Amino acid sequence: MFRIKICGITTVDDALMAAEAGADAIGLNFYARSPRYVAPEVARRIADALAGRVSRVGLFVDPTEEALMAAKVDLDLIQLHGNERVGLVGRLSQAIGIVKAFRIGPEGLRPVLEYLTEMHRYGGVLHAVLFDACQPGRLGGSGKLADWNAIKGYPSEKWHPPFILAGGLTPGNVAAAIQALHPAGVDTASGVEKSPGRKDPLLVERFVREARAGFLAIGRQMS
């Protein structure tokens, strides 16, 4: 499980910078409508440059299995942000680790727990779930905080996958978020950017440093 992920990477230089700063995962966004979209040929160059250094996570929205295969990018994990059915996710989880993203809205964790219960019955295994903010018309990267109070109610039974916290995380609040919620990992995109898809090295370094401090405060060492 990664601890610190810098998402929405669009260049090899930013990817290498994030790795040098101490992030242990980067996200490559394959959703064409996102301002952080990265074409498969660029994603391949980024993924190849980071092979063996950090976890390379590909973000998709309601993909078909054929679309995933067509990307032909060497990924370590797939992160799903759409309305993917349990059957598809279960089949994919047999071949690669799956992170399923959920936007925590007015219903709180109820849709998450229902989905996980169905996945458990199906026999699929998720690498992790990711909790993001709910904002109409946005699938992530909005800069809005997720509902921390709702997330505090996430259960800890062994069959529930660990959770990654996203949604409005910045160098200024990530340590507090970790100490409040004890996530397995944290994920940021807009919180360390100078423009959509382009990362600010100083913000990335600060985010990693503050996240490390937050994990240390709850007794979790970075590997």
Contact assessment for residue 186 and residue 169, using Cβ atoms and an 8 Å cutoff: yes
Q: Is 7 a catalytic residue?
A: yes
Nearest to 66 by CA among 48, 91, 39: 91
Distance CA 10, CA 17 (A): 12
Catalytic residue among 7, 14, 134, 147: 7
Written as six digits, the tokens of 179 are 């100490």
**Residue 29 bridge partners (DSSP):** 37, 59
Catalytic residue among 14, 132, 147, 187: 132
Rg (CA), the chain: 16
Q: Two tokens at 65?
A: 């299995």
> Hey, which residues are catalytic here?
7, 132
